[in-house]
Structure 1
């Protein structure tokens, strides 16, 4: 029996997030290392692991629906009030809350492309329409081009710094000028999922940026630098009125006790974090040097991944990596992104790419 239902029109053109993706290569090639999701190649901080174990007896209980302790900790970390915060299941979860709270049918969300591949889906779920702007040749945001695409229908502009997938950052002065140029009805989301790799554990300027601009929201996650991708916890900071709406759109009990405790301990473990950030930066530079030695184009990155602007050769490059047992992320027509991973993963990848039969493909 066929059942008819009215699917939201904006969802018809998108697919579920990575629904067709396999843990192995597209042709069945066995994958030994996955360098496609920008996961940290290290476990959570030692202090965090110990704290999680203490929470095991509480599995039968619901978490605090407001994640009050984490909210207070983040407020201290950013020097803002608790009313200016919203927490959720990863920065993607918080972004979905924000889009649901602010957008609907007929509205538009502007962002650079290629970008985080969940953006189109999250916008579609809200009922809004995506408006994409191209990146610059150096992999950065073309803020002038993005500004030209802002209209009366625009509700949200998403900026990502360091940008996923290129690793480029936005200059602070250029950012401030861009924010001043926007109409009052537009909320800008500054997605800083990878900011710790660029500016350390406590990036400067955030409280001032939030005070200076009424319509900016800063988005962060514990999935990347802190190594908590499996626990799903992130947060947003912004104007009280906007954050109140974002909290209303949250799924009940979206941040577990484990995630809340792990995030709190992560913010209190700056010394441990700085050590792994230094290690990640060193590994990124070694990978970049190895790829350039092979004659491959690699853009400078301030995140835990590198970007190769390969245009039409992106898919053949991805297949070459998969043949060596290493999975990387392809952006067809644009390039390929490689997450910083284990030393052995880098070795296997570089060895495979150095073979003449693969090298000739791109």
Structure 2
């Protein structure tokens, strides 16, 4: 029996998120270390693990649909009001809520490419059209080029800092100038999923930025630095009117009781977090140095991953890593991204790359 339906036109050109990925192909070596998803190699903070165990008896109960306690905790953390916040299942979930609330058929969303590979799908789900702008040769946002792509049809501009997949941040002064140049009908989303790893500088997404630029939304997550990727919890901060619309687009009970409790405890565990961030930064610099010793191009990163601008050699590099049991992410035509992982994973990868025939090009 043939079933006819009208699929949203913007979805026809995109695939389900990572549906083309497969487990190991027949005959290929097993994957020992997955360095492809920017997951933290460490477990959640000890105080967080201890705290969420107390919630097991409440598994039969729905969570608070408004995540009221977490919203209040984030409000204190950012020095904003609860009305300026929206909480959801990961920053990707909150971004989807925002796009659904603001965009529709014929609208456009502008962002740099390569970028977070969920952006095209999330834009398509909203009915809008993705408009890509190339990165600079140094892996950063070309804000002038992005600005040229903003039109009367543009509803949202997404900026990611530190950028995924390059790890490059946006200069604060250039960011303010860019935001001032945008027309009033455009909302800018500053995706700061990796901001905690940018040590040594104040993040751009502070209350000052939100006060000075009324059409700006800051997006953050507990998946990365806090090690809660499996619990799916993130949030956005921005204008009250926009956040009210974002909350309306939320899936009911999208933030579980465990996720809410873990996120609250994470925000209260700053000392533990700082120790963790120092360890990740040290491992990132060691991995960068090891790759450079092999004469591989590596950008300086402010995130928990490193980027190799290998252009069309990215796929062969990923295959070389896979032969050693290491999964990395290739962006064909652009480069390869390696998540910061365990010391053993780094040693295994560097050893395998060093053993390759140096006449082989990546």
Q: TM class, shorter-chain normalised?
A: over 0.9
2:312 is matched with which residue? 312
Distance (whole Å) between structure 2 residues aligned to residue 24 and residue 120 of structure 1: 26
- CA gap of 1:270–1:200, structure 2 versus 1, over 3 A, is farther
* Deviation readout 1:263-308 (Å, 9 max, x if unpaired): 0000000000000000000000000000000000000000000000
2:92 is matched with which residue? 92
Distance (whole Å) between structure 2 residues aligned to residue 95 and residue 28 of structure 1: 36
Q: CA deviation at 1:52?
A: 0.9
2:352 is matched with which residue? 352
Q: CA deviation at 1:13?
A: 0.3
The reply to whether residue 41 of structure 1 matches residue 52 of structure 2 is no
- 1:87–1:235 CA contact under 8 A, matched in 2: yes
Distance (whole Å) between structure 1 residues aligned to residue 99 and residue 197 of structure 2: 26
Counterparts of 1:33-72 in structure 2 under 5 Å?
A: 33-72=33-72
Distance (whole Å) between structure 2 residues aligned to residue 23 and residue 276 of structure 1: 30
* Deviation readout 1:39-77 (Å, 9 max, x if unpaired): 000000000000110010010000000000000000000
Q: CA deviation at 1:355?
A: 1.7
Q: CA deviation at 1:120?
A: 0.2
3-state DSSP of counterpart to 2:63: coil
Q: CA deviation at 1:29?
A: 2.7
Distance (whole Å) between structure 2 residues aligned to residue 5 and residue 176 of structure 1: 45
Distance (whole Å) between structure 2 residues aligned to residue 306 and residue 298 of structure 1: 7
- 2:190–2:205 CA contact under 8 A, matched in 1: no
Q: CA deviation at 1:204?
A: 6.8
- 1:200–1:274 CA contact under 8 A, matched in 2: no
- CA gap of 1:133–1:50, structure 2 versus 1, over 3 A, is same
* Deviation readout 1:147-175 (Å, 9 max, x if unpaired): 00000000000000000000000011100
- CA gap of 1:224–1:200, structure 2 versus 1, over 3 A, is farther
Superposition CA RMSD, Å? 1.4
- 1:201–1:273 CA contact under 8 A, matched in 2: no
Distance (whole Å) between structure 2 residues aligned to residue 183 and residue 138 of structure 1: 28
The reply to whether residue 198 of structure 1 matches residue 181 of structure 2 is no
- CA gap of 1:270–1:126, structure 2 versus 1, over 3 A, is same
1:144 is matched with which residue? 144
The reply to whether residue 223 of structure 1 matches residue 223 of structure 2 is yes
Aligned pair count reads: 362
3-state DSSP of counterpart to 1:47: helix
2:239 is matched with which residue? 239
- 1:352–1:358 CA contact under 8 A, matched in 2: no
Q: CA deviation at 1:360?
A: 1.1
1:15 is matched with which residue? 15
Q: CA deviation at 1:27?
A: 6.2
- CA gap of 1:146–1:293, structure 2 versus 1, over 3 A, is same
2:30 is matched with which residue? 30
Distance (whole Å) between structure 1 residues aligned to residue 359 and residue 327 of structure 2: 17
Distance (whole Å) between structure 2 residues aligned to residue 358 and residue 68 of structure 1: 57
Distance (whole Å) between structure 1 residues aligned to residue 227 and residue 250 of structure 2: 23
Distance (whole Å) between structure 1 residues aligned to residue 202 and residue 174 of structure 2: 21
Give the structure-1-normalised TM-score.
0.98
Q: CA deviation at 1:26?
A: 8.1
Q: CA deviation at 1:356?
A: 3.0
Q: CA deviation at 1:205?
A: 6.1
Distance (whole Å) between structure 2 residues aligned to residue 147 and residue 203 of structure 1: 22
Distance (whole Å) between structure 2 residues aligned to residue 359 and residue 94 of structure 1: 46
3-state DSSP of counterpart to 2:251: coil
3-state DSSP of counterpart to 1:349: helix
Q: CA deviation at 1:357?
A: 2.8
- CA gap of 1:132–1:341, structure 2 versus 1, over 3 A, is same
Gaps of 5+ in 2: none
Give the structure-2-normalised TM-score.
0.98
2:252 is matched with which residue? 252
